[in-house]
């Protein structure tokens, strides 16, 4: 009798583990799209001029790009950034062409405004330039909350 109880309990344990594993695999399928991909999908589906468009994610909002000339762009918006300092880089899909950092006029938890200009020239005629705004992690220095925006 003890052997059959042991087998029954083993069988139940296996069923419970199998059910738990099935639930976990279902959860993986329902995970949200990563922030950078979501921003790319929802905001950067066109490479048309970006005037009159706004871009945002968890740390940046109301971000607009205004071309000043063929190679100079004005970037304005708001950021909720730790210690008000954020970074940016311009890339063409293959190389980083320019990079730097800027500050908002207020640090998190406030939304501080920023306004700066960047200059970038295409290395290849058929490439697309993007500026990527990001917050730097205070813990490990990694780029967080990246917001890619097409320039031209």
In the three-class reduction of DSSP (H, G, I as helix; E, B as strand; rest coil), residue 86 is classed as strand
- 22-81 confidence digits (pLDDT tens): 555 444 444 444 444 444 444 443 444 566 789 999 999 999 999 999 889 999 999 999
**Distance between CA atoms of residues 35 and 53, nearest Å:** 19
- 75-116 confidence digits (pLDDT tens): 999 999 989 999 999 999 888 999 999 999 998 899 999 999
- Closest C-alpha among 116, 110, 67 to residue 88: 116
**Distance between CA atoms of residues 106 and 110, nearest Å:** 6
Determine contact, residues 59/83, Cβ cutoff 8 Å.
no
Residue 59: per-residue pLDDT: 94
- Kindly calculate the radius of gyration of the chain based on its CA atoms and give it in whole angstroms: 23
- ω before 109 within 30° of 0 (cis)? yes
């Amino acid at each position: 009798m003890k052997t059959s109880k042991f087998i029954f309990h083993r069988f139940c344990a296996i069923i419970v583990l199998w059910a738990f594993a099935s639930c976990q695999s279902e959860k993986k399928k329902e995970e949200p799209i990563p922030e950078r991909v979501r921003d790319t999908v929802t905001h950067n589906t066109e490479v048309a001029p970006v005037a009159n468009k706004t871009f945002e994610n968890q740390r940046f909002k109301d971000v607009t790009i205004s071309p000043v000339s063929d190679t100079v762009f004005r970037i304005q918006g708001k950021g909720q950034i730790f210690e008000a300092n954020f970074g940016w880089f311009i890339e063409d899909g293959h190389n980083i062409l320019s990079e730097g950092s800027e500050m908002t006029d207020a640090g998190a938890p406030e939304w501080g405004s920023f306004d700066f200009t960047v200059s970038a020239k295409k290395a290849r005629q058929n490439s697309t330039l993007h500026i990527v705004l990001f917050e730097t992690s205070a813990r490990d220095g990694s780029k967080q909350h990246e917001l890619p925006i097409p320039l031209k």
